[in-house]
Amino acid sequence: MVRTIIHIDMDCFYAAIEVRDDPSLNGKPVGVGGNTGRGVLTTANYEARKFGCHSAMPVFKARQLCPEIILTPVRFDVYRQESSKIRAIFGRYTDIVQPLSLDEAYLDVSDRTESGAALAKEIRHAIYLETGLTASAGIAPNKMIAKVASDWNKPDGQLEVKLEDVNGFMRGLRVAKLQGVGKKGQETLARLGIETCGDFQLLSKVEAAEKLGRWGLELYDRCRGNDDREVTVSRSRKSLSKERTFRENIDDVDWLMNVLRKLRSEVEEAVKHKSSQEIKSRVVKLKFEDFTQTTAEKAGRQMDETVYRELLSLAWSRGEGKAVRLLGVGVKFEDEESQLDLL
């Protein structure tokens, strides 16, 4: 199965929060941290980056490059709170989330019916609506390419690299964009006449090993876009669900009840084979024709069809006559914190 991996990267996360919380900073060069002459910047916003300021830069250097830079103190408690909100948004779309830091994460959405690009756009929109912050995204068949792609259309943009486009994308990609290829590595490769992944692809595997050793073998795969690493989740599954997106919007609740019956059976079978956790509650989600959505939940461990029919009726009534484009049926497990509308 072709995987769909999304890499979400918040745009100047710490600095963006400071500007959001103090609108007087909007449009001005801002650096976070290093408010003493001997400190270093934790990050800088895009206005400051235009002058060459960046994270880990000594404050005195930043002031030389950008005398107008405004320094704000680090507020990690606030950054963690915002990061928690963003991760909660990720959890609405998949359980397979690998946070890399407070401001970026991988999401495996391979089992979703929607396209990766559509999901990434929806996730980014939700982040903006709920936090006032922008995020960029990369969508690809693996983690490496997704991470590279997330940096392509910053800020507040995204890029999808489909499986059939991987070869062309990698051929034109500068090796400097690959993780693990720093300044010295670039210089080493440049001496071999290698500036792009396409240049490196001209080497055979034997030549790559002879010229660069073990690192050369790693680059041999990277430059071809190969990366079989999984999105790793260090916690137990919080929920399990099945969804159906309809080609045409549905305005017949009886028709939806028939689909619900099939989805409930699929979820029940999946729970038997994929999870040993105790069920906490039963869940039904509807997404309407105007892309608004509602989720109804009821506590209990038995997956009775009657309960799911009640939940669907409740969710349907909230739409006030709007047609439905997606129906989701699922369960939440004992260790999950509820983020849904409770019955």
Under 8 Å between Cβ of 139 and 4: yes
**Selected catalytic residue, list 18, 47, 82, 104:** 104
Distances (CA, A) of 58 to 55, 154, 189: 9, 25, 29
Give the strand pairing for 158-160 and 135-140.
parallel
Rounded Cα distance between 98 and 107, Å, is 7
Under 8 Å between Cβ of 237 and 244: no
82 flagged as catalytic: no
- Start-to-end CA distance of the chain, whole Å, equals 37
Sheet holding 341-342, edge to edge: 239-250, 324-333, 279-288, 293-299, 341-342
Please state the φ and ψ torsions of residue 289, each to the nearest 5 degrees. Answer: -60, -25
Catalytic residues: 104
